[in-house]
Structure formats: C-alpha cells, structure tokens
Amino acid sequence: MIHVIAVITAKPGERDSVLADFRANVPHVRAEAGCIEYGAAIDTEGAGRIQTPFGPDSFVVIEKWESMDALRAHAAAPHMAAYAAKTKDRLVSRVIHVLSPV
C-alpha cells in the first residue's frame, strides 16, 4: 500500500473555491482502480497546543493507493490534469509526500 499526504496552499481567500473543485473531482478519483482512500481535511479548531496548524489557506489531501502503479495512473488521469489546470492560478504551493507503511 502507498500513502500520500498532499499539502495544498491556496492564495489568500481562495481555499473554499479550490476545495469546491476538489470535491467535484473526488468521485472520479475514488472510481479509479487501486484507490483505497481519497479525501481532504482542514485544521480542527480548538485543538490547542497539541496542534501545529496548516493555516486558513491550506488543506491536506489524505490518500491511500494499492500500489505505486495505481498512484502513477492516478497522476496521469485526464480528470487530474483538468483539476490541476482549473486550480493552478489559485494555488501558492502543492507539496506531495509519498510514503510506505512500516
């Protein structure tokens, strides 16, 4: 299994619109072969000092894939290219961590 943590930072005030486009793309991603989990999360309010917040312009995409081949196919999927093109001008950064469980 492959885990992916992607930290997406939108331009100020753009997170909600990027998340709307993300949510519209989720059904296409979850229908891909090898997709185990795919969803977004934002900072939880009220977590106090135990939390290091990502901030009001960021969200985290949490993914699980059956294999690297499935992840590579996901990255090359037409709906991902369309999502990237639609959101690229509203993003500051996109940092992707690909991890293997131990």
Residues 86-100 have a mean pLDDT of 98
| Domain assignments of the chain as residue spans, ordered by start | 15-45+54-99
Residues 26-54 have a mean pLDDT of 96
Q: What is the pLDDT of residue 65?
A: 98
Residues 52-71 have a mean pLDDT of 98
Give CA–CA dist 88/50, Å, rounded.
32
Running DSSP on this structure, what letter comes out for residue 99? E
- Token pair, residue 5, equals 């943590």
Q: What is the pLDDT of residue 68?
A: 98
Residues 68-86 have a mean pLDDT of 98
Q: What is the pLDDT of residue 74?
A: 98
Give DSSP secondary structure letters for 9-51. EESTT-HHHHHHHHHHHHHHHHTSTTEEEEEEE-PPTT-GGG-
The architecture of the domain spanning 15-45+54-99 is 2-Layer Sandwich (3.30)
